Amino acid sequence: MSDFPFPAVRPGRTVAAAGAFACSTLLGVALFAGLSPAPVAAQDHAAHHATPVPGLPDGWMAHFDAAAGGGEHAAHAAAQELSFADMAPGWHIETGPSGIFYRHEFRGQGTFALESEIHLFDPGERRESFGVFFGGSALHDPETRRYAYFLVRRDGSFMIRERRGTELVDVAGWTEHEAVQGWDDRPEGATSVPNVLRVEAGETEVVFLVNGQEVRRVPRADVAVDGHFGLRVNHNLNLHVTRVGLVEAENGSASPGR
């Protein structure tokens, strides 16, 4: 794969704001066996009560792991270590603390295929992970928030996990897979390595793919489908997200944002 044409390190660590942009949407999968999805009204309530984070691109919200339970002051402190900017194509993100990033309209239900392409810049020796979260509800409340996430990391492995308030449950623990492009797999001289994460929610199964290759599948009867979705990025990572959104199963083209 060709190298991504953005610098490995953007100057400064302050939050970068930007103007209007176009984006695609994701639809969510919540890996919660035996639990029914939260009503849309409850999801709306959660989104509207998200703690505002200064400097995010217009319409984006964030919740940081380190700020859980700390309210607005803790969220603002965590945001000082974040750079998140519109940068065509997509968004460039440099994290301090780990967190999730999403928009109010990022939610959905039914059968779908979602996809995100994420480029990793030099992670040093850190094995921090990144990817998408989905099936989110009550995201404003650390004690009751619920979401699942599908991540990869520099060593060529993937993981699927769900969060139930303060409890974390592995759906698939860290597993090395040839489909995942690790940092050491990049071509000589390349400053980044891309991975395409895809979730296909069908009528009977949910399938997880990396770079077009299946890495895990879960019976749909065991998972909830409705909820908020967005990006999950662990701490001290430098990424470029070229796209996140619905894709058409028959041709793979991204559907427009809404």
Going from the N-terminus, what domains does the chain have, and what CATH number goes with each?
Answer: 40-246 (2.60.120.560)
From CA 167, how far away is CA 47, in angstroms rounded? 21
Distance CA 146, CA 39 (A): 13
Q: Residue 94's closest CA among 215, 242, 236?
A: 236
The predicted-structure confidence for 100-136, as pLDDT tens digits, reads as follows 999 888 876 788 888 899 999 999 999 999 999 988 8
Q: What is the pLDDT confidence band of residue 206, given thresholds at 50, 70 and 90?
A: confident
Picking from 60-74, 140-154, 186-200, which range would have the lowest pLDDT averaged per residue? 60-74
Q: Which 8-state DSSP code applies to residue 137?
A: E
| Distance in angstroms (rounded) separating the CA atoms of residues 228 and 243 | 17
Of residues 51 and 17, more confidence is placed in: 51
Which pLDDT value is given to residue 228? Answer: 86
User: What pTM was estimated for this model as a whole?
Assistant: 0.78
Mean pLDDT of the chain: 77
> Which range among 48-57, 160-169, 175-184 shows the weakest confidence by mean pLDDT?
48-57
39: pLDDT confidence band, cut at 50, 70 and 90? very low
User: Confidence band (pLDDT; 50, 70, 90) for 5?
Assistant: low
What pLDDT, on the 0 to 100 scale, is given for residue 164? 85
- pLDDT at site 69: 57
- Which tokens hold the place of 182? 């690790």
